[in-house]
Structure formats: C-alpha cells, structure tokens
Amino acid sequence: MNIVVCIKYVPDWEAPASQFRIEDSRLVPAPGIAYRISDTDDEAIEAALQLKEKHGGRVTAISLGPASARDGLKHALAMGCDQAVLLDDPAFEDSDAAGTAAVLAAAIRKLGDVDLILTGRQAADWDQGQVHAGIAEFLGLPAVIPARHIEWTGSEFIVHRIYEEGYEEIAVKPPCVVACSNEIAEPRYPTLRGIMAASRAQIPVWTAADLGIDPGRVGRAGRRTRVLRLYAPQVEAKCEFIEGENPEEIAAKLVQRLREEKLL
Amino acid sequence: MTAEARGIVAIIEPADGPAGALTAEVLGVARRLGNDLNEPVTAVVLGETVAEVGPLWEFGADKVIRVVHPLLAEFNLDAALGALEPLIRRENPNVVLMAHTFQGRALGPALAFRLQTGVATDCVDLRPGAGGGSLVLTRSILGGNFRAEVVIDTRPQIVTLRPKAFPPAEPTPGRTGTVEEFRPEPDPVRVRQEVRRRIQEAAAEGVRLEDARIVVAGGRGLGGPENWHLVEELASALGAAVGASRAVTDAGWVPTSLQIGLTGKTISPDLYIAVGISGAVQHMAGVSAAKTIVAINKDPDATIFRYARFGVVGDAKQILPALTREIKKALGKA
Ligand SMILES: Cc1cc2nc3c(=O)[nH]c(=O)nc-3n(C[C@H](O)[C@H](O)[C@H](O)COP(=O)(O)OP(=O)(O)OC[C@H]3O[C@@H](n4cnc5c(N)ncnc54)[C@H](O)[C@@H]3O)c2cc1C
C-alpha cells in the first residue's frame, strides 16, 4: 500500500500569543519560537506507518516549503517514512489553500501509484481545514474528514468519520484522501537509529517547473482568497476568586455567589 | 459574458430540522445579507428529512429548494457534491452559507473546490464589503489567538459559519415564499464512498451538549478516567450536560462526542463549569458564547481564569465532591 502524507511545518501553536507579531497581514513568530509538524499531521504520519506495518508498501511525506520544512520532513523520516520530498519555489509563496492544494496534488501525481493520501484535519496556524478537499478535487478523488480510524479490507478502506453524535463507518475505494483527527493514533517518537538515518537522507526539492505547474495558478497570482487584516482579540480578565479554609467552605461560598447571580 | 452572481443560498442542516437553532442562525445571516445587498435568499434542503418548509420562510427564505435523491437520505459527501454542483451552477449565487458542523467542515471546502471558487471556514463574523464588493469575513486563526479578515475574490463566496457565533433569525409568523424540487442525477461513477453505519455514542436521552443551559466539563486535570464520575455527579446534581477537553477525549476517557472546542462542539450555556481544564484557546473557541464561566483549577496562573467570572484554585478531587453536596443541598435534592 502506497501512502502519501502531506505535512505542514508551522510555528509552535502553543507559544503564547505575545510571541507573535502582526506584520502586513502576516503572523510573524518571535525569533526563538520553534517550528513543529502541525497538530494532527504527525498523527497522520503515525496512521500511515501503522497501515504500512500491517499491509506493506511505502510511505512518502511531502511538504510545501519554506525551506525550514526540511526539518519537519526529517522528523517524518526519523519516525519511519520511506522517503520525503520538499516542494519549494518562490512561485509558491503566499499561496492560499487552493494554491497549496494545487502544488500538493501535482506532487502526488508526479509520485504516481498512490493508494491513500493522508492530511491532518486542519493546520494549527490557519485552522482552515481546506487542503485535503483541494487535493481530492484536483486529483478527482473522494475525501473523508475528519477520520479517527482507518482500516484496509483488501479492496476498500473503512474510515471512521466523526460527526456530532459519534462516528460513521464509511467505505471508500482507493485511491482516496483522508483527513486525520487527533484520535487516529498516538505519534511515535523517532528512534535514535531513525534519527541517524534521517540526518543522512537526501530530501529532493521539487519546483514549479519540476511539477509542470503554471506559476499563474499558485502563489499570489493564483489566490481565490485574500487576507485584509489581522488583529488580536481582547479578553478582559475579571475573575472573582472564591477562597475558604476548606473545600466545604469554598463550595458553599461559590453556590451562594451563583445563586446571587441567579445562575442556579 | 457570464451573468452576474446574485442571491444568497443557505444550506440547511437536515439533522437540525426546519426550526432548529443552526437553521435559524444560518438563515439569520442569509436574511440580513439579503436585505443589505438587496438579493433573494434561497434555502437548500438536502434530502427529504425536512418535511415542513414553513419555518424556513418564516426565518427569511424567499425560496426553498428541496434536493431529492435516495443517496441524500443521510449525509454522503460525494452524493451531496454531485447534487449541489449542478444546482449551484444553475442558481449562480453570490454567497453560499452553511453551518461549520461536521457536515459543513466536509462540504464547504469540497463544494468550493468542485465549483473552483474560494471558501472561508469557521467564520465568526461577516459584513458586506464596501460598495457591494466581496464580503469581509472574520475567521479566528492560531486556535483563536488572532483574528483574520479575509475576502473571497471568486463567486460564489462559500462561507461556513461557526455555530452560536451569529444571532438567530427572528421568525416572522405567516411569512411565505416559494418551494420547488430539484432532482439531481449525481454521476454514480463519482459516488465512491458509502456510509455503512452510523454509531451514536452521545447519550440518546438527556439534554444535548449544544442545547444545555448548564455544562460541566472536565479536563486532563481530573487525573484519570477513574475520577470522571466526579464530573458526572456534579452535572447530574445540576441537571447539566457533560463535556470534555480534547486532552480527555483524545485519551479515550470519554467519547469524542463530548469534546468542546475548535474541533469539537460549540456550546452556549448560561453557566459553564470547567474543571481541570487549562483554557487553551482551541478549547475556549467552543465556549465563547457561554454567559458565565466558573473555573476550578489547581494552578492559580492557569489561562482559564482569564476567561472565568468565578475561579476556585484547588484540587478538583476535593472541590468537586464538596460542590456536588452543596448544590444538592441548595437545590433541595439532599
Ligand atoms: C488545531 C487544534 C485543535 C484543537 N481543538 C481542541 C478542541 O476542540 N477542544 C479542546 O479542548 N482542545 C483542543 N485542542 C487542544 C488544546 O490546545 C489543549 O491541548 C487542550 O484543550 C488541553 O486540554 P486540558 O485543558 O484538559 O489539558 P491541559 O492543558 O493539560 O490542562 C490540564 C489542567 O488541569 C489542571 N490540573 C491538574 N491537576 C489538577 C487537579 N488535581 N485539580 C484541578 N486542576 C488540575 C492543570 O493546572 C491544567 O491547567 C486543539 C489543538 C489544536 C492545535
């Protein structure tokens, strides 16, 4: 089974908001902020590795630049991916989700012979949850989002798709795109051997020309959406702390305050 | 030259029913935009589950289109795309709105790419652009730490709306409109997924988390699934619904259907009691419509206290049993 996992390398989303600066409708992390594989993209890698361990095949990680995304791809290799490709070209800069998906789809087409394409359900920086759908539509494939379990029966994938009240069992034929939710797997830590091998691995870079992409379809030129402005919403702190000698006293005071506020 | 895209289409969530809260929110936004832009509002209903169209007119729809096909009995993304693509092309609307539910999360982006247009997901605010230009759409990014105002340059502008972020439409009793049926013929070759079973994990009885007036939610600070009963006991004393942070659903202590937040449910209770929850922006994204937040956390510097009206610094395992007893006493249940 050949699987491609699309990962995004993003600034640490757990860093406090004060560590980000707004500059020309871009979010700029402070110099010390580390980059990480986005939330749920690492779980997608793990899900791919588990399917490969069961059914054989090859797992390829791909990421659309910046050049520092190479470190994210190294991490994917260290976890056990067989190969990685970085997609980087000045023409890709400032792509929206449509441009990003077009580049990823072109790279998947170039890799060829793919049974399953995995992504995270939404990237931790822009929280859009669009790229999986774009890849699917550009390649003419079905898509399932968000998935908390995938299995292969030999002829189809059974995907557990989350909905408000539980989950659905969806049968979908390969090749298909599945956007993974956090429940799907617990990402493994790379082994020392994996890290060593990854540090020696060559990560090819594919450009717009390599992918046969018309630069007018991606980057700034190919955008369907534009950011007008970014700002930080204000939260005002006005917490009244309830204190007391023991839990009983605290509980009694809290209940009294809630009653005074007509909340009980 | 292509005709100018005109009109607001609101895609109704079938599970929510014709008079449901999400329907009122989406049609509320649609009607206000329709008035501001002087464009008609069309409610699109997938499948035959919504029998009554009266409430849709009363919420502001000028026209209701029922999309009828056996494959649309329940949400199937491929079938929905096959049905909606020709309909939306025919209607040629300016804007397509839907709720950012689990259906909208799948459908919004996929429909946009099928129609080769742009989409803004999980919007928390919107307004008409200056001079009748593109809508200015507000999304939260980085979990909620920042907001982005975005515009879509292509048509239709597809927008998924965060539940509880917009005021619901006020029904106008007796308001009517037109209704028609659309019978699509989705290309069977492009329907490559099939919903085999739906497994309901959320309790079938009791108040739904989305509708509850009081919610008690637990986080990793509870220490383990063996302490979860403390959350349930407090909730039951209050007649509240139970929710959880993602740390807890991810660890499998409780089903995913209890998850509150950016990638879970959006709630709007009068009273939200968060126990052992740190207050990460992605969690708080689901409770911004809560009126009063009470936080119980052993760390006095926990972020949750920035959002809370009342705070208790202490160990959940000690505070919860005492609070449950006090509540029972106060409500005369002891
Ligand atoms: C894209 C994305 C989407 C996400 N979506 C969601 C979402 O929908 N919902 C969601 O909840 N999260 C979501 N998250 C995760 C979120 O960022 C946090 O990781 C998560 O909310 C943390 O859960 P928690 O507060 O239970 O755990 P923690 O952050 O670990 O906090 C536990 C808290 O318990 C306190 N505590 C410890 N022991 C005790 C005790 N004995 N008594 C009282 N308090 C105690 C601690 O002080 C701490 O504040 C998302 C993250 C990303 C990146």
3-class DSSP state of B259: strand
DSSP structure string for B44-98: EEESS-----HHHHHTT-SEEEEE--GGGSS--HHHHHHHHHHHHHHH--SEEEE
Q: Judge if the beta carbon of residue B117 lies within 6 A of ligand 1.
A: no
Cβ-based neighbours of B33, under 8 Å, separated by 6 or more: B8, B39, B41, B95, B97, B126, B128, B135
Find the mean pLDDT for residues B143-166: 97
- pLDDT over 80 (residue B16): no
- pLDDT over 50 (residue B37): yes
Per residue in B206-217, pLDDT (tens digit) is 788 999 999 999
Domain count, chain A: 1
Of ligand 1's listed atoms, the one at least distance from the Cα of A14 is 17
Comparing CB atoms, the residue among A144, A230, A239 nearest residue B147 is A230
**What's the CA-to-centroid distance between B278 and ligand 1, angstroms?**
5
Find the mean pLDDT for residues A52-61: 98
- Judge whether A6 lies within some domain: yes
Q: Judge if the beta carbon of residue B320 lies within 6 A of ligand 1.
A: no
Residues of A in contact with B250 (CB under 8 A): 182-183
**Residue A158 and residue B201: Cβ atoms within 8 Å?**
no
Choice among A21-35, A38-52, A181-195 with the minimum mean pLDDT = A21-35
> From the CA of B63, how many Å to the nearest CA of chain A?
28
3-class DSSP state of B311: strand
Residue B87 class from Cβ within 10 Å (0-12 exposed, 13-18 middle, 19+ buried)?
A: middle
Q: How far is CA A242 from CA A186, B182, B183, in A?
A: 38, 59, 60
* Chain A residue at shortest CA distance from B246: A182
Q: What pairs with residue A157 in β-bridges?
A: A152, A172
Of ligand 1's listed atoms, the one at least distance from the Cα of B259 is 9
Number of Cβ within a 10 Å radius of residue B308? 25
- pLDDT over 70 (residue B334): no
Report the pLDDT value the prediction gives residue A67, as an integer from 0 to 100: 86
- pLDDT over 90 (residue B327): yes
**Residue B106 and residue A143: Cβ atoms within 8 Å?**
yes
- Convert A175-229 into a string of H (helix), E (strand) and C (coil): CEEEEECHHHCCCCCCCHHHHHHHHHCCCCEECHHHHCCCHHHCHHHHCCEEEEE
Print the domain residue range for A123: 2-222
Choice among B8-17, B151-160, B162-171 with the minimum mean pLDDT = B8-17
Q: Judge if the beta carbon of residue A124 lies within 6 A of ligand 1.
A: yes
Whole-complex ipTM? 0.97
DSSP structure string for chain A: -EEEEE--EEE-TTS-GGGEEEETTEEEE-TTPPEEE-TTHHHHHHHHHHHHHHH--EEEEEEE--TTHHHHHHHHHHHT-SEEEEE--GGGTT--HHHHHHHHHHHHHHH---SEEEEESS-TTT----HHHHHHHHHT--EEEEEEEEEE-SS-EEEEEEETTEEEEEEEPSSEEEEEPGGG--PPPPPHHHHHHHHH----EE-HHHHT--GGGSGGGG-SEEEEEEEPPP-----EE---SSHHHHHHHHHHHHHHTT--
- Asked, colleague to colleague, whether B8-190 and B209-330 share their fold, the answer is yes
Per residue in B262-304, pLDDT (tens digit) is 999 999 999 999 999 999 999 999 999 999 999 999 999 999 9
What the block records as the tokens of A66 is: 């910046």
Decide: B45 and B133 in contact? Cβ < 8 Å: no
- Judge whether A99 lies within some domain: yes
Q: Which of residues 13-42 of A touch B (CB under 8 A)?
A: 13-14, 17, 20, 22, 25, 27
3-class DSSP state of B25: helix
What the block records as the tokens of B316 is: 């959940």
Using only C-alpha atoms, chain A has a radius of gyration, in whole angstroms, of 22
**Residue A224 and residue B322: Cβ atoms within 8 Å?**
no
Per residue in A190-210, pLDDT (tens digit) is 999 999 999 999 999 999 999
Q: Which fold has domain B209-330?
A: Rossmann fold (3.40.50)
Report the pLDDT value the prediction gives residue B17, as an integer from 0 to 100: 64
Name the residue type at position A195: I
Per residue in B198-253, pLDDT (tens digit) is 999 988 787 889 999 999 999 999 999 999 999 999 999 999 999 999 999 999 99
Decide: A108 and B43 in contact? Cβ < 8 Å: no
Mean pLDDT (chain B, rounded): 95
- B51 or B92: which leads in pLDDT: B92
Find the mean pLDDT for residues A79-96: 97
| B187, containing H or E segment | none
Report the pLDDT value the prediction gives residue A66, as an integer from 0 to 100: 83
Comparing CB atoms, the residue among B15, B143, B198 nearest residue A168 is B198
Report the pLDDT value the prediction gives residue B1, as an integer from 0 to 100: 37
Q: Rounded CA gap, B228 and B217, in Å?
A: 10
Domain ranges of chain B: 8-190, 209-330
Whole-model pTM over 0.95: yes
Q: Is A225 in CB contact (< 8 Å) with chain B?
A: yes
Report the pLDDT value the prediction gives residue B51, as an integer from 0 to 100: 73
- pLDDT over 80 (residue A226): yes
Residues of A in contact with B117 (CB under 8 A): 224
CATH architecture of B8-190: 3-Layer(aba) Sandwich (3.40)
- CA nearest B249: which of A6, A146, A50, A170? A146
- Judge whether A162 lies within some domain: yes
Find the mean pLDDT for residues A43-56: 98
- Judge whether A243 lies within some domain: no
**Percent of chain A predicted with pLDDT > 90:** 95
Report the pLDDT value the prediction gives residue A212, as an integer from 0 to 100: 97
